[in-house]
Structure 1
Amino acid sequence: MVIQGGLDGRLYALDAKDGRALWTYDTLREFEAINGVKAKGGSIDSASIVAANGLLFVGSGYGMFGQAPGNALLAFRPAK
């Protein structure tokens, strides 16, 4: 599986063999944050995806070069 973010704010899980989309998640929206600060997703660009300890962390919001700004750090855990 390959994980890829898009400038449109979508997160994609792709089949490593044929590139077929297995899963997508739209981050270009508001989120209820655990720290009480309003969070808004945006473009996913640069080095904003990290996997560690069974979790996938995604920084959503990259306002450079006319892309969609935001301030969300999202954590995903794969379904078992």
Structure 2
Amino acid sequence: MFSGGQDGILRALSTADGKQIWTFDTVRDFTTANGVPAKGGAMGAPGVTVAGGMMFVGSGYTGLGNGRGGNVLLAFEAGQSQSTR
């Protein structure tokens, strides 16, 4: 199970006991695939999408203007500890 928060931290939780097993701090600058600078921030709705062995999550799109602003879509591959660019 994955959970993103207003603090910009993406968390993976065990479905067996709910314990945190992985975190990724999205509040930082990212170099994107097209070279446009982007920054992570708070994570609101929608949540994480998992498809084809990849996990996608938006960071910094708060919708109502609350939380940490930003503008990045992150993609993670299964077993990968860092975001793809």
Q: Same fold (TM over 0.5)?
A: yes
RMSD: 1.4
Conserved in 2, the CA contact under 8 Å of 1:27 and 1:60? yes
2-structure distance, mates of 1:57, 1:10: 14
5+ residue gaps, structure 1: none
Ranges of 4+ aligned residues in structure 1 off by more than 4 Å: none
2-structure distance, mates of 1:42, 1:21: 20
Conserved in 1, the CA contact under 8 Å of 2:3 and 2:47? no
Conserved in 1, the CA contact under 8 Å of 2:48 and 2:57? yes
Give SS of 2:73's match: strand
Show the counterpart of 1:57.
56
**TM-score normalised by structure 1 residue count:** 0.90
**TM-score normalised by structure 2 residue count:** 0.85
